[in-house]
Structure formats: structure tokens, C-alpha cells
Structure 1
Amino acid sequence: MAEVHIIGQILKAVDFAEPHLYCKWSLQSGNAWRLVQGEVQGQSHVASHRLQSSSDFAQPLDIHLSTASVQGWPRLLVEVYAVNVLQQSWPVGYGFVHVPSTPGTHRLEIGTWKVAPNGLWQSLRERFGGGGAALSKTDLLYSGVERYKLQTLSSGKVIVELNLIFRKFDEYGVEFK
């Protein structure tokens, strides 16, 4: 079977209004893909920024996958959460990116969005640290079936660095140019 090694890190979140953030991540792929080694989901520590609009996570990724088909190519999903002094957390950004289909080093910026407040009360609650609206199903992140019904706002970006190693794809007739 062909293999993909994903080695890298979720570096940081930039341009978010909230000062205390953490990131949940997961790697989604099609049915032909199998996990050989590593973790396909995780969570970073809480990172704070005071003077700059950047929260550094440096969350390592080390995933080894095998596949017999390029269908269902992997994608990295991120959910950024804010935390207040009462240790309450709420989502402030959702986003995803497909893992690049070429070997080598890649620096990716994942643009994120959040569910827009639908009234004055929810807007005030979000502004003063009580939390914002959350998605009940995370598959809305990458499938456009129901996402068009949501009202959303842009939030910050998540910066990811990935080093990709591909093995045995030539045996399955896949060439990278």
C-alpha cells in the first residue's frame, strides 16, 4: 500500500480577538485510508497573548497513513476555543485545509470562521466572556450541504507547518511533478 508520513506542527493562531486560546484538531480521510501510527486527533495547551495578536501552540503532529486509493485525501480540521478566567470555553474559530498532495515542506494558513451571534443577548454574552454559539456537528466544517444556512463571521488564522513524505505511490501509478 502507498504511504503518507505527516510530520509537523500547529504553530500558532493569529488575529483572534480573544487573549486565551487552545486548538482542537483532527485528521479526516476517506475509507481507503488506514492509520499505521500516530494520533489523528488532539488538543493543544492554552496559549495567551498579551502584546501581539498571536497565540503560540507548537502542537506536534506525527501521523503515518497507508492507502490503496487517493480518493478521500486527508484534511486537517481545526477548532479554536477561547477560555475565560472561570475556565469556561467556547468556539471562536472553525476551519480546515486539505493536506497538500505533493511531498516536501509546506506552510499553510487555515482561515477560520465562527457562528455569528443571532441577537443582542448572544452578542453581549460573547463579548463579555460567556461564550458564543457552537456547531452541534463538526461535519458542517467541510461539507457544504447544510453550511449555507449558517450566518458566520471571519475570525483569525491558524498557521500549520507540515513535512510530507510519500512512499510507494509510483507502484500504484501516481506520479508527483
Structure 2
Amino acid sequence: MAAACSPSVFLLMVTGQIESAQFPEFDDLYCKYCFVYGHDWVPTTGLEEGISQITSKSGDAQQTLVWNFPIDITFKSTNPYGWPQIVLSVYGPDIFGNDVVRGYGAVHVPFTPGRHERTIAMFVPESTSKLQKFTSWLTGRRPEFTDPRVVAQGEGREVTRVRSQGFVTISFNVVTKDMKKLGYDVSLSDMQNPSLMSLTEGIHKY
């Protein structure tokens, strides 16, 4: 009877917001997000992707771009491999008024419950030659990924030339349910436990 009542999945509940960004060279930017996760993960409630409002730089010396755009999603899974990542894509106008990508970035959802803040270093793909750079500038078609999810997967990234550009700050509120009942303990005090090495390796391999 006890076996029949034991959970077969655990839940990961994530709320928070894409708070702000630092892009000193650019203004009037907006942000898109999407989640990337393994085959055993299934979203049960909330939004897997979204797009923020356009925001302008603050008037102070820091010139921060503030979005405070909410995220809210719940996943269920049978194992932690392929732990969800959030992928960010920031866009803004070029001198011709075309929307072009200003930065890509990704980070894993924290796997310890509680409130967390992450600052993500963003990057953009680079043209491989001066002629391509000039053509891209002239036509307003800058190099960008067809599918931003490639940022989280890593496959083929080693042959892509990129340039660091800007930072985005995001906050997470993480709640897990039934992980301990399935044999996973991700409380902060236990993260040095050698038995958790396989868990963290599985998370970061994806």
C-alpha cells in the first residue's frame, strides 16, 4: 500500500523575473526567453516562452535597462538529467531601424530551493570575414541563430565565432516537491555530499 502511494515524479516550480540589463552601447531593447530541458521533463503549468516590453536606459550613471518581466513555470520529471535552462535573446534597433540581436545567453535554473539571482554574460555571433561584416551592416542582417535554443545545447557552438556583449540579471524563486522521496536531496547543506556528484554532473552535461 505504501508503494502505491509513493510519488513517481518530482516537481520543480520556478517563478521570478528578468530584472535588468547592461548594454552600454545600445538602447530601446526587449528580451525574449524560452526554456530548454531534457526528454524526461514536462511543463505542467505556466509559460515556456515570452517576450518583454521595450525598455530604455535609466537616467542615472549606470544606464540600466529595467524590464522586471515575470517568469512562472512548473515542470515534472522522473530524473534530474536535462535540468531546465532558460535561454535569453535580447533585441533592439540598429541605425536603420531594423530589429537585430544584441545578445544571447543561457543559465540553468538553480537546483537548490530558495531565492537566487544570476547575472548572465551575453554574446553575439560574429561574421567570419570583413566582407561579411560590411554586407551585414549594409543590409541590416546581422548574424543570428535560427533557433536560440542552440545556445543551451552546445553542439556545434565550438565552430561559431562569438563576441561578448552585455549582461542580463535574472532572479529565481525555486521550489521543489518530492525530490527527496525519489532519492534526490538538493538542500544547500548537502551539496558537498559525494553522493550528489552524479546529480550535478547530469544537470550540467545537458
- Partner in structure 1 of residue 108 of structure 2: 98
1:136-147 to 2 correspondence within 5 Å?
Answer: 136-147=146-157
Structure 2: gaps of 5 or more residues = 1-8, 191-206
User: What secondary structure, in the 3-state scheme, does the structure 1 residue paired with 2:107 have?
Assistant: strand
**Aligned residues: percent identity?**
25
Displacement, 1:27?
0.9
The one-letter code sitting in structure 2 at the alignment partner of 1:7 is T
More strand by share: 1
Alpha-carbon offset, residue 124 of structure 1 = 5.5
Q: CA deviation at 1:126?
A: 6.8
Q: Highest CA radius of gyration, 1 or 2?
A: 2
Residue identity matched to 1:45: Q
* Equivalent position of 1:22 in the other structure: 30
Residues 1:165 and 2:175 are matched in the alignment: yes
Equivalent in 9, 34, 39 of residue 42 of structure 2:
34
The AA in structure 1 aligned to 2:118 is L
In structure 2, give the amino acid aligned to 1:31. H
Q: Which moved more, 1:3-12 or 1:144-153?
A: 144-153
Matches within 5 A, 1:2-151: 2-49=10-57, 51=59, 52-84=62-94, 87-120=97-130, 123=133, 130-151=140-161
Aligned equivalents of 1:155, 1:118: Cα separation in 2? 17
**Number of aligned pairs?**
177
* Higher percent of residues as helix: 2
Does the CA contact (< 8 Å) of 1:89 and 1:131 recur in 2? no
What amino acid is the match of 1:102? T
